[in-house]
């Protein structure tokens, strides 16, 4: 049995060899254009890949039921735009905490937290990029400049990290990264407005 967004589908699991083939087959259906898979349940258990192409290793003979939940691209965009505020807050607070830990020479905890901060910043930049590409958002000079500044600062931070100059890294995080991230609050507000308009137009 295959269920898509709460509706039982006419598709048969036995028509497919593995879960990957099944998902690709379902998502190629016309009515699922412009939709993104948010959840996959296999035999009533949530499925997410631990390693790339893991779905290819799930034999359809072992599956009785697949449930797929999807979300429209515009709704997904609006949801990402809302999440960006939370991410900015994490980045802003994280930068200050990491800087304080390095200054106290608490290097091991600082480095652990700093790694999380790098991951969050990477995610933030990719979310911003995805939104911009998907919604052809107004490429304002302020937006473009902020993206370039954050990317350039990110590269500089990685360079300083390689030299293990933790005090300089603290200064960069507190006096350059933190104010730059704070500026993103206004940019994300206008980004959300652009996404909202784009969703209404669809």
For the residues of 35-84, what is the DSSP string, one character each?
Answer: EEEEEEEETTEE---SSTTGGGGSBGGG-S-EEEEEEEHHHHHHHHHHHH
Helices (H) and strands (E) in the chain, counts: 6, 5
Q: What angle do CA 63, 69, 74 make, to 5 degrees?
A: 150
What confidence score (pLDDT) does residue 104 get?
Answer: 92
pTM passes above 0.75: no
pLDDT of residue 144: 77
* pLDDT at residue 100 in the model: 94
Q: What's the DSSP call for residue 16?
A: -
- Segment-wise mean pLDDT, segments of 10 residues, the chain, 202 residues: 87 89 84 78 88 87 91 72 83 92 90 89 79 61 80 88 92 93 82 69 60
pLDDT score recorded for residue 102: 92
């Amino acid at each position: 049995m295959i269920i898509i967004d709460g509706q039982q589908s006419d598709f048969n699991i036995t028509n497919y060899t593995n879960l990957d083939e099944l998902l690709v087959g379902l998502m190629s259906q016309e009515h699922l254009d412009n939709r993104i898979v948010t959840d996959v349940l296999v035999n009533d258990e949530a499925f997410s890949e631990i390693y790339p192409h893991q779905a290819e290793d799930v034999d359809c003979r072992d599956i009785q039921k697949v449930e797929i939940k999807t979300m429209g691209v515009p709704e997904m965009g609006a949801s990402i735009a809302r999440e960006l505020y939370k991410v900015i807050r994490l980045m802003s607070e994280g930068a200050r905490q990491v800087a304080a830990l390095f200054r106290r020479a608490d290097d091991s905890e600082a480095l652990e937290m700093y790694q999380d901060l790098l991951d969050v910043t990477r995610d933030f930049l990719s979310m911003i990029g995805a939104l911009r590409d998907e919604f052809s958002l107004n490429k304002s000079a302020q937006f473009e400049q902020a993206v370039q500044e954050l990317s350039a600062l990110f590269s500089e931070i990685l360079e300083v990290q390689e030299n293990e100059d933790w005090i300089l890294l603290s200064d960069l995080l507190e006096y350059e990264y933190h104010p730059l991230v704070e500026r993103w609050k206004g940019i994300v507000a206008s980004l959300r407005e652009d996404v909202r308009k784009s969703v209404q137009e669809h």
